[in-house]
Structure 1
Amino acid sequence: MRKQLIALLLACACANAQPPAGGPPPEALQACSGQQQGTQCAFRAPHGQVNGSCRPVRQGLVCVPEFDGPTSLRTAPASALPEGQMGGRPSPGFNNGQPDMARAGAPLGADIPPTPDGALSIVSRIPDTNQGGCFDDQGLIPCPKPGQAYYGQDAQFSGASPAYSVRDGIVTDRITELMWQQAHNATRLSWNEARQACAQLELGGYDDWRLPSIKELFSIADFRGSVGRRPYLDDRFEIHQPDASILRNDPYASTHATDMMGQTWSATLYTGDHWGRKGVQAAFFMNFLDGHIKQAPIEGGRTALFYRCVRGKPWGDNDFVDNGDATVTDRASALTWQQRDDGQTRNWKQALAYCEGLDLGGHNDWRLPNIKELQSIVDYSRHDPAIDTRHLQMRDKRGWFWSSTTHGDNIRQADYICFGHCTSVDGIDVHGAGAQRSDPKDASVRRGDFQGGQRDEIRIDNYVRCVR
């Protein structure tokens, strides 16, 4: 239950502070009385002052402590976690040592501007992330110049700028030519129910709606997002967090917070085994409130998520051509890729520098791809690894690859794609090859450290595949 989570958080932050048996510590509740969600707060514990931010629980708003740095603090063992976790969202446990519920607070999230006019224009048919702020390992910085540390990140390049038009409850994406349901479907459905709802939808004079693929769904993601500040979705689309009633009679309420529960089904099935369980089928989803791709079980109708319907020619297939010079061009996106990674893992700063310094195939304008570009080369028909190895090679099939995109929930982290199994610290494939998560950009991690209620493995040193 949520009160157990609060007890754990406070026990970690203040060793002598213990909540009463009936719920969160009264001081933590009182600190947020009359306040708004995300407001900074403080209260006195036996050891001294505890600082945090106000986060929603079933009892109301509670002051949740802030932490710094990766930690080996534990939640429940993986074997005790519920299958699917309502779509695989990590519990409000620990994220880079930060309690997930506090990620919406001022210290770790950010108000991120859109891509600036001065960003270097690139030829691409992948909708841009729209992330316009530059960051180092700790926070916002002035955008660096070529040759300086942290040069080459997302905000410094502009791909296909998001271009939408709205009419009759339909948002048309002029880049992908897909037409989207504008409205938020507030009733969470099982995967099969969501597919059926889209197939039966009549909107704007059209009756050929369908559940989108995960690549189509990710194409409308907006990486100005930050939990509690703005969704990972353009303002032209409607989206709302579920109300607190979703936590009533929920046996796993301690792992859920409404402002993070924007999980939205895709039609894309995971070809691997959900949580390593043979025969358990799962589908990928995009969480438009916390900015991650993960997967959830579809059998039995037990997992209910949001859905958003789409119509139009299927989008997102690759059209690779080998250039014969250790590079591969995807004619579908107009991007050219490093064909094979160099087998070295790096932190985020090093990954940016590696691509800036790469000279390959007669070109020296390589860069670290943003998260939407990187996700565009995932092959969701495969899982070991989730990439078309006929054209793009991986030296380590377990590999996770950095993007140039900072994660808005915690700007000390950057986004990556799991091309190999997306594992917990216990080695369980909890989110699926092809999932998208975030890692600390640089930190000291001890053996056994993890993030979130599903015990996400922390690597920090990830592989790199450059793009131009």
Structure 2
Amino acid sequence: MRRYFFVSLLLAPPVFAQQLPPPPPEAKSACEGQPQGQRCEFIAPHGKVSGQCRDVREGLLCVPDSMPPMLNRSNQRNDQRNKPPKRAKIDIDATTNDAVKTTSRIPDTNQGSCFDNHQKIPCPPKDDAFYGQDAHYAGATPSYTQDKSGTVTDNVTGLMWQQAHNPQRINWYQANQACESLTLAGFKDWRLPSIKELFSIIDFRGVVGQRAYLPDEFDIRPPASLSKNDPFAANHRPEMMGQTWSATKYAGQHWDDPNVEAAFFVNFLDGRIKQAPTRGREGLFYRCVRGPAWGENQFVDNNNGTVSDKMSDLMWQQQDDGKPRNWQEALNYCKGLTLAGHTDWRLPNVKELQSIVNYQRPAPAIDTASFGVSDPAAWYWSSTTHGDDISQADYVCFGKCTSVQGIDVHGAGAQRSDPKLRGARVAQQQGGQQDEIRIENLVRCVR
């Protein structure tokens, strides 16, 4: 009889550790759709096993409570997570005056460096295969006014922000209440920002462990390690301390569970959007805002295969062509597109792309009365390289944002990153939620 693999681990000499059988499928199925730390149980060949869901080398598994700490791979992995990742230093420049100025009213990503599939390069000319990426174009120039009373005003959107990153882990309802109760700089009309408002201040010069994805006017300090007093230090990496609530609830189902209400957040230390339970036990951080709501689309069908958005002053390709492409192919497709008599199409940067998400829809998360969608499950490329790993570029999930198991772990409307090119060293999954890796994504061009 095949014995439960954790029991085998206890009995086997260390030299044979790599020869152990894989975990039983029951250990994996017991934690499907569950967060780390959730209590779990299943029936193994030797009897009933009780434990907690842990992210170990083999994935998210039900790990017995009785495992010695020295053999608990979950503890070993979490110890490594609390150490700053060793990364090559990458300095991403701010948008330069050489960039082509666009009509966009969306604050620019401020990414002024260019990249190929693997490294930082001098920004190439128009006839080059890597022309058309984020740094080649400049949207609305980010402009902020910092006030001594603890506020920062965005001169592009007109929003006034709380400068501080509130360090308390609280649930979504508590964050809403904290903002509504805030009195700052003489104002009492503070609120939790929408996901589009929150994403408007992100700065894509960010690099995990090196520079936050926030303009310098805002306060956030990436910790070198997690506080020993933090109750979730065991399963959180330092860069997760930038997870910041938005007011936008997810219209879909958290981890495909209809009984869990969730809302979106931006992580300003790793530069991504995802969703989390509004009453989750771990809680997230928050930053308040005030001013008229910003980011509501005003789409106009031009009846020529294009859609204009009066909010952003951008024109969009109405129907994608249904062909998945890698990142370089996506750049070149938009660069070569002729549509409605226009030849100045380009791949949108990630903030422009996120601006057309319809967060009132679960999937596809886009206004289908204005846009055609060839695949409701599709993700779409942006022109923005991700500083965490410059061999990857950012995409937005307009369909469900799934794990390799097909679970909607991040939510339609989330923003993640994929390898730019398929290769021998590309993994099958990435991240703590085992994100699906597609590499070939759809394209919707902008001008």
TM-score band (shorter)? 0.7 to 0.9
Structure 1 unaligned runs (5+)?
A: 1-14, 20-75
Structure 2 unaligned runs (5+)?
A: 1-13, 19-26, 38-53, 59-79
Q: 2:188: which partner in 1?
A: 207
Shift of 1:279: 2.1
Using a 3 Å threshold, how does the CA distance of structure 1 residues 160 and 311 change in structure 2: closer, same or farther?
A: same
Using a 3 Å threshold, how does the CA distance of structure 1 residues 410 and 237 change in structure 2: closer, same or farther?
A: same
Shift of 1:298: 1.1
Separation of aligned partners in 1, 2:201 and 2:348? 17
213, 226, 233: which is aligned to 1:244? 226
Separation of aligned partners in 2, 1:463 and 1:343? 7
Q: 2:31: which partner in 1?
A: 80
Using a 3 Å threshold, how does the CA distance of structure 1 residues 141 and 79 change in structure 2: closer, same or farther?
A: farther
Residue pair 2:82, 2:236 contacting (<8 A) in 1 also: no
Q: Which secondary structure does the structure 2 equivalent of 1:128 belong to?
A: coil
Q: 2:138: which partner in 1?
A: 158
Q: Which secondary structure does the structure 1 equivalent of 2:158 belong to?
A: coil
Using a 3 Å threshold, how does the CA distance of structure 1 residues 247 and 289 change in structure 2: closer, same or farther?
A: farther
Shift of 1:147: 1.8
Structure (1 or 2) with the larger CA radius of gyration: 2
Trace 1:207-356 onto structure 2 (pairs within 5 A). 207-241=188-222, 244-245=226-227, 249-250=231-232, 253=234, 255-299=235-279, 301-356=280-335
Shift of 1:144: 1.0
Q: 1:433: which partner in 2?
A: 412
TM-score by length of 1: 0.78
Q: Which secondary structure does the structure 2 equivalent of 1:265 belong to?
A: strand
Q: 1:400: which partner in 2?
A: 379
Percent of matched pairs sharing the same residue: 58
Q: Which amino acid aligns with 1:434?
A: G
Q: Which amino acid aligns with 1:230?
A: R
Residue pair 1:223, 1:407 contacting (<8 A) in 2 also: yes
Cα deviation, 1:438-467, whole Å, max 9, x if unaligned, reads 000002379991111211000000000000
Residue pair 2:95, 2:135 contacting (<8 A) in 1 also: yes
Residue pair 2:189, 2:290 contacting (<8 A) in 1 also: yes
Q: Which secondary structure does the structure 1 equivalent of 2:246 belong to?
A: strand
Separation of aligned partners in 2, 1:257 and 1:391? 40
How many equivalent residue pairs? 389
Q: Which amino acid aligns with 2:363?
A: D
Residue pair 1:100, 1:452 contacting (<8 A) in 2 also: no
Q: 1:143: which partner in 2?
A: 123
Separation of aligned partners in 2, 1:83 and 1:291? 24
Whether 1:382 and 2:361 are equivalent positions in the alignment is: yes
Q: Which secondary structure does the structure 2 equivalent of 1:283 belong to?
A: strand
Q: Which amino acid aligns with 1:343?
A: G
Q: Which secondary structure does the structure 2 equivalent of 1:186 belong to?
A: strand
Separation of aligned partners in 2, 1:350 and 1:79? 41
Q: Which amino acid aligns with 2:292?
A: K
Separation of aligned partners in 2, 1:306 and 1:178? 19
Q: 1:58: which partner in 2?
A: none
Residue pair 1:91, 1:256 contacting (<8 A) in 2 also: no
Residue pair 2:209, 2:222 contacting (<8 A) in 1 also: no
Cα RMSD, aligned residues only = 2.8
124, 147, 155: which is aligned to 1:174? 155
Flag as ranges the 4+ runs of structure 1 deviating above 6 A. Answer: 15-19, 90-94, 99-103, 445-448
Separation of aligned partners in 1, 2:83 and 2:336? 37
Separation of aligned partners in 2, 1:77 and 1:110? 37
Q: 2:73: which partner in 1?
A: none
Separation of aligned partners in 2, 1:241 and 1:217? 18
Separation of aligned partners in 1, 2:426 and 2:444? 26
TM-score by length of 2: 0.82
